[in-house]
Chain A
């Protein structure tokens, strides 16, 4: 192919897929207003040997956030909202514990993660059926971990709230609004908000985690109430249109979906961020825009956002000055491949082919990070010797409740002390005193977390605390219900 604009890219994708042990990957690359590369690698279904293609539907995870931000900006163009006016005027049901945030927070603050709230993801993880309005109404109960606008702290609930704001302003469900106003004009006809719809479509990728003997399928993420933070599924081919829209400053096929000055708000940094625990000198963060990270990559602006849900990873990135963009989606959890593929493609487009082996370097960086994370709590919490609880397990048994997290139950299951959260039973092991370790499974992840049972003035256990968010946010306290 004499005019191959990306010599060596396809080979590198194949090499990295193998080296990083991922099941399959789907890629689109856009340059000068057209897709110059659309292809799939590996398997969308490992057992049935179904090939991943450019038309295979995969989750984009948190890359959904840019769709939510874009939708809200469309409503600003229509005069329905000013993203710099206090939210209270638009969403009275949304309140913050921090009085300054409560009085002052604007839609912009939601879209750039600077309200002072940390993730608090367990709110929707522990309550998978929580509605969008319930999420909004729960925010008043959540403890901030930084003063308002003092630092960037990633928060999915704020995008759920922004999606809810879209609903309140437009009168349409966020999903319907996004389909009508963005998917349709961009020809993203197969894009959807629910993995079940991808299954009905037929050309979809199973979600995997790496197992001892290959790839183990994992259930799809169920993202309902928090959809505007990460529920979109799309294929590389359709996502290339999304790249063209963004590289076109909000216009697609000759029609402006957004005023260009409104579009520029989306990709203009609002607040400094740090995210990855590694540092590559090629890339420097400039800040978080609205649903987009904005970096300086090899001296040029790179607008991007990753996504990660059960058994999948995704990356969407574009460089406005160079009029190039790329999407990469992988059907394997915790993959370094999407980021590596984006940097590798950009290097080739910018004239630095193979300047770095991104697959190897990011893979290595991520590996070290993953191991550290998994065992982190053990180093923090050394088990005290000869310090078992002096209580019988029946003292701890019962239902414990928290607003807004809901109820957890402590009871013996098959003779083993257990805590039941998320309809799932997790084993409890006495660590020391009345502190237990719970091995909590959620989605496809497992997390060791400590559960501390607290004695009330009457001498009985009256509450438990779980470190769901981590300092400086206080452990989440669940009060024991009186036995009936």
Chain B
């Protein structure tokens, strides 16, 4: 007897999309092992009025991580990998700045974000065509940690790319092909791909402009090297198959993709996590498994993972004990409508109706946005007046090198500068003396040039990763 009501759910969904400026959302709901809802809300293309559907192809972003974790566990089940042995035994090029982490980090540590390494996402975002091995074996070893090894949960995409690279080294198959052959194909996820999207219904991806109040189309994110952390594109109906595989602990019909005891490792908490900057009283984090967050939602175990890429947000969530799950895929950047829809769907299945999730999440997010805007204003306001650059402007121009991030190029741009990192160029905003900030995708990155003992500009520091110390780029002296 289904408790899920498509009508009530639809009302909540429409409200969530409206309140949270979300173009469209594709949804699958599985109750007691069966798909009880599969459909779309809002638009795949606002201008053309094309509706969102359950076969619209959308990025699932970081919900991809569970596929990578499952790939590693299949190799463990086959005896090709021990996820508790050091990664270096399988991927000798793996190294981290923290020697303890470098030596001891095991696949489990990579899959549960406890190496001490923060995100450093701007590098791979800016560097579209970097090969995976270059990123993992040449660049990651130079990135700055902000925690000691296994001290705290610290979300990191590189580590999943490293596991993807390890899968390739162990099997001779690229992660993209391994996942396609070993998971997507047996499940019949025929509209799902690990790299380029399959032919089919492709939506416009949107980013809401708070200043103009307009939802603007945005280009998809190029995942490339980092794919094992977030490249999968799928549909709500394909993702329902994935959720049912998880509810069946690794079995799809009679096909065993992963033995149940190996499967259980994926959804067992390894380390406490804190993700959202506000609390949701009904939902308590239990810990991070392997590519999955494990929560307790209204007392029920909830295994979930969101995904956020340019122009899209996703949430895959299931309650193993209830044999139920929800998939929400939205063509909207950074929206929490995904959570609102999932919580609303679970409430229906749990017989709860005491919470207006669209309203609650909308208010929480608005608070956070205002706080962030206030912080940004305060940051900009601390600029001291009439404190110009110390050196003639041409002396700042040139290439600066950091072994992790690579070459940062400073070029003149009118009476200011452009800063280029691989494929991304942004304007430099001067604050005072040789201090500046960069603004990219809503983030303010602090920066400063440094004068050496010889009086010449010798380096520039930029806080590409706000959680870690700024990265220093040394000026390249051309001879």
**Mask for A385-400, Cβ within 8 A of B = 1, else 0?**
0010010000000000
Closest residue of chain B to A381 (Cβ to Cβ) is B454
* Chain A residues within 8 Å of B383, by CB: 459
Is B453's CB under 8 angstroms from A435's CB?
yes
B198 CB–A CB distance under 8 Å: no
Over the window 286-327 of chain B, the binary record of Cβ atoms lying under 8 Å from chain A Cβ atoms (1 yes, 0 no) is 000000000000000000000000000000000000000000
In the complex, chain B residues whose CB is within 8 Å of the CB of A387: 390-391, 455
Contact yes or no, A455 B382, CB < 8 A: no
A255 to B266, CA, bound (A): 70
Q: Which residues of B contact A475 (CB under 8 A)?
A: 453
Q: How far is the CA of A380 from the CA of B387 in the complex (A)?
A: 29
User: Which residues of A are found within 8 Å of B450, using beta-carbon distances?
Assistant: 454
Q: Which chain A residue lies CB-closest to B454?
A: A381
Give residues 420-441 of A contacting B (CB, 8 Å): 431-435
Interface residues on B, range: 20 to 34
B residues 425-470 touching A (CB-CB < 8 Å): 431-435, 446, 448, 450-456
> When the two chains form their complex, are residues B382 and A434 in contact, meaning their CB atoms are under 8 A apart?
no
Chain A interface main SS type: loop
With both chains docked as a complex, state the minimum distance between the C-beta of A453 and any C-beta of chain B, in angstroms.
9
| Minimum C-beta distance from A380 to chain B (A) | 7
A456-B455 Cα distance, complex, nearest whole Å = 18
B387 touches which of A390, A432, A450 (Cβ 8 Å):
A390
Say if the beta carbon of B100 comes within 8 Å of chain A. Answer: yes
| 1/0 contact string of A87-112 vs chain B (CB within 8 Å) | 00000000000011000000000000
Q: Knowing A99-B100, A390-B390, A433-B390 touch, does A455 contact B455 (C-beta < 8 A)?
A: no
The reply on A457 being an interface residue by CB < 8 A is: yes
A: number of interface residues (CB 8 Å): 24
- Nearest CB on A from B383, distance (A): 7
Residues on the B chain within 8 Å of A456, using CB: 435, 448
Q: Which residues of B contact A455 (CB under 8 A)?
A: 432-435, 448
A86 to chain B, nearest CB (A): 16
Q: Which residues of B contact A467 (CB under 8 A)?
A: 453
Residue in B closest to A377 when the chains form the complex, CB atoms: B453
B381-414 vs A, Cβ < 8 Å mask (1 yes, 0 no): 0111001001100000000000000000000000
Chain B nearest CB from A368 CB (Å) reads: 25
Residues of A within 8 A of B452 (CB): 435, 452
**Alpha-carbon gap, A435 to B453, bound state (A):** 6
Q: Is A279 an interface residue (CB 8 A)?
A: no
The answer to whether B453 and A450 have CB atoms under 8 Å apart is yes
Q: How far is the CB of B276 from chain A (nearest CB, A)?
A: 27
| Contact assessment for B448 and A457 in the assembled complex, using a CB-CB cutoff below 8 Å | yes
Establish whether residues B384 and A381, one from each chain, have CB atoms under 8 Å apart when the complex forms: no
Q: Does A211 contact B (CB under 8 A)?
A: no
CB of B200 within 8 Å of the partner chain: no
**A49 / chain B contacts, CB cutoff of 8 Å:** none
Identity of the chain A residue whose Cβ is nearest the Cβ of B450 in the assembled complex: A454
Q: How far is the CA of A457 from the CA of B390 in the complex (A)?
A: 15
Nearest-neighbor residue (CB-CB) of B99 within chain A? A99
Bound form: Cα–Cα A390–B432 in Å: 12
> Once the chains bind, are B387 and A459 in contact (CB under 8 Å)?
yes
- Asked if A382 CB lies within 8 Å of chain B CBs, one says yes
A141 at the interface (CB under 8 A from B): no
User: What is the chain A residue whose CB lies nearest that of B431?
Assistant: A459
Q: Assess whether A384 is interfacial by the CB under 8 Å rule.
A: yes
With known contacts A457-B446, A459-B383, A382–B454 Cβ distance under 8 A: yes
Q: Could you list 29 A-B pairs, sorted by A, with CB under 8 Å?
A: A99-B99, A99-B100, A99-B103, A100-B99, A380-B453, A381-B454, A381-B455, A383-B455, A384-B454, A384-B455, A384-B456, A387-B391, A390-B387, A390-B390, A390-B433, A433-B391, A433-B451, A434-B451, A435-B455, A450-B453, A455-B433, A455-B435, A457-B435, A457-B446, A458-B382, A459-B382, A459-B387, A459-B435, A467-B453
Given contacts A433-B391, A455-B434, 10 further A-B contacts (CB under 8 A): A99-B100, A383-B455, A387-B391, A390-B390, A431-B455, A432-B455, A435-B453, A456-B448, A457-B448, A459-B382
Q: Could you list which residues of chain B lie within 8 angstroms of chain A, going by C-beta atoms?
A: 99-100, 103, 382-384, 387, 390-391, 431-435, 446, 448, 450-456
